[in-house]
Structure 1
């Protein structure tokens, strides 16, 4: 019995999930998460990059454009 958790309830999102949820392209998300200050909203699991949903939403609310 497997059930999928909705994206808006997940704590961490893959780049593909984040791209669909925020309507931002994967390449743009990679560019944003390559910055030094991204430690607040990016979690690295080995070489896999996960975006912390709530801190990333706070980051986006403070931005005028990306």
Structure 2
């Protein structure tokens, strides 16, 4: 019976975070060590260059975020 439930779900792919184009907030926390609240604050800014909104879902453009962090002194 559980096999039928699994077939209706999207397949899960184990892709390393550093290969992903976009990261969820939770993935970005694991990837950077920056806290969830701080990432939400940063991505809520109107001029945030590395946030991608898909409806209400907030994703972080990993490569743009890497460049942004490399240039920053503090966040």
TM-score (normalised: structure 1): 0.91
Task: Map Cα deviations across residues 28-55 of structure 1 (whole Å, 9 max, x no partner).
Answer: 00011111221x2111111000000000
Tell me the equivalent position of 1:64: 73
Tell me the equivalent position of 1:13: 23
Tell me the equivalent position of 1:22: 32
Three-state SS of the structure 2 residue aligned to 1:36 is coil
Three-state SS of the structure 1 residue aligned to 2:69 is helix
Task: Map Cα deviations across residues 1-24 of structure 1 (whole Å, 9 max, x no partner).
Answer: 854111110000000000010000
Larger Cα-atom Rg? 2
Partners of 2:57 and 2:12 in 1: CA distance: 23
Runs of 5+ in structure 1 lacking a partner? none
Give aligned pairs, total.
65
Partners of 2:14 and 2:32 in 1: CA distance: 19
Runs of 5+ in structure 2 lacking a partner? 1-10
